[in-house]
Structure 1
């Protein structure tokens, strides 16, 4: 099995793949046309990326590609529709960088409270301004609003509670009982979080439902002078609404992600938010700690090794939650060569499209049972035909 690594992966992950005897092609600077060319040239079975975008042209560049592993949690940089259409699995490594992102989030919170970047810039320019920078409010006793309680959100809460902050939170999965266990206040919506908090941090996945979650109404609900932190994805923030809130309400922000941020690791940055003195920017480094990269690399290697050994894909993100199947055909049969071939041929002739299938073997390997879920117009004559085939023990049909 050939593995193409199109981004940097820690030595720990590389060692795991090499020890398993897999062919590893390490080209960590690939992007855009260079990635497409590399896929065409090397024809890998597995592609591993971190921040590199994987487009439809990349996926169609080689018919050998079977699996794309995103060495990180988010996977909005991969064309899932194109991958699914081509029958290419996409997997991620959730939760492995949660601590790193949470640490940066708290760092952003402290930076906003103490104006740390401005302190440093003034000092480097030979300016001493203790009078200005000695006016921080402090974090103890203030309220942090957390939107999204996945792995990262929970790690942020741990650290904020250590700073003796109060926590108000919203998440689709958060219940009153769970909120009591965590010692936090649960509210009914992201806007309710914004209205109650002195600082708000977002930790939601980038989906159509969360697109521009932080919009005009969200920023309108925030307290004047409150802090806003985003270390998740740029798409969850309406940047124009954020700019208006900074201008009209004195909101200050820490952002690790930007819309249309550079795709290369180094180069010029031209973005209107970069020029705003009320915004602190970091360079999309939330997951970039040695601890996180080792954990992510090990998980990426685990996903690949599981696939190589068993054909199973841990953390797969592009399988249908529910197939279009409308009926299930259950066929108990003798465990003989060719029996299922005759069953499947009858199904093919009937025009039934098989969506899911499993064949289990009874003790002793004398008999087996096939569960075949399909979509198509049911014909009782076909069921009867299958029941009369050689070595068939029993057939039943149910509507799903």
Structure 2
């Protein structure tokens, strides 16, 4: 008689979120009050460009709340060295709140340093170009700009504050890049749900995370184009508010608690290609989304619609646009190998994916997307440049 077996423990489902999310035109005026609820000695981390744009408003708000203004100059990428330097700044000043003001690398560096220093941290994105602000993880790069690792933290930012007028004042290409990052959220969440893989939140996908990912997708298809038109005139409209929320909050919660899959793995692989350096995160993710659709064998109509829509948004969906070509086989193989290393999110797809599969998908995208664009009367692919 065989011994009775112990039934497997039920899989835990997990949903993560920031402590508070604040969004709207003029929201920077509220920053000081919210920081005062978190601590008494904040350090504000921003690069010189960002500080030149919002430093006056940030300073006025922080001083108005009776807090000291300590600003640290951010330079470059979220690297291990940058993070360790910020930890040293925190300890030297005796700070109890670390505040990232700017883009994804600034915010990720602040999250990682805040965690290592054992203090609270806040995200104040000045663009809606990624879904990084709300998450409990950071993407860390090498000094050369190649993907190095994900770092995970036990909690999310205590505060995420987005001033939509500041976002609307930034180049529309940055908002478009955020659309590229956020569109991948649903494609990856549905793949993760199908495979039952573990999400960035550390458990099985939650219904809420998957639903928020789908909501982000729907909001963007309905609002991205009018929002981009408004932002080109630096206007905040209901469409802009919806897209900023989709890019930041809905996509942030959706990717973290719904799951990542092939699109972001291809992005990580593309960081190994010098030709793609300098492109925005969401630009590379969008090529990853098209690649994922090809890997899935998605209906041709679905891939065609995605190519047409993202072309209108201003996102790359061909190799040409990221500085590569179908004949760059060695580079594409390096990209594919980096995208399929053990532990990469591409293994959350509901079927095995090999490096050869990724190479074939990447090469096939070029001719297909070019033909779709021609048939729709859309511009032919040209090399994209990073938005500034």
Structure with the largest fraction of strand: 1
Larger radius of gyration: 1
* TM-score bin, normalised by smaller chain: 0.3 to 0.5
| Larger RCO (CA within 8 A; separation ≥ 6) | 2
Give the TM-score normalised by structure 1: 0.34
TM (norm. structure 2) is: 0.35
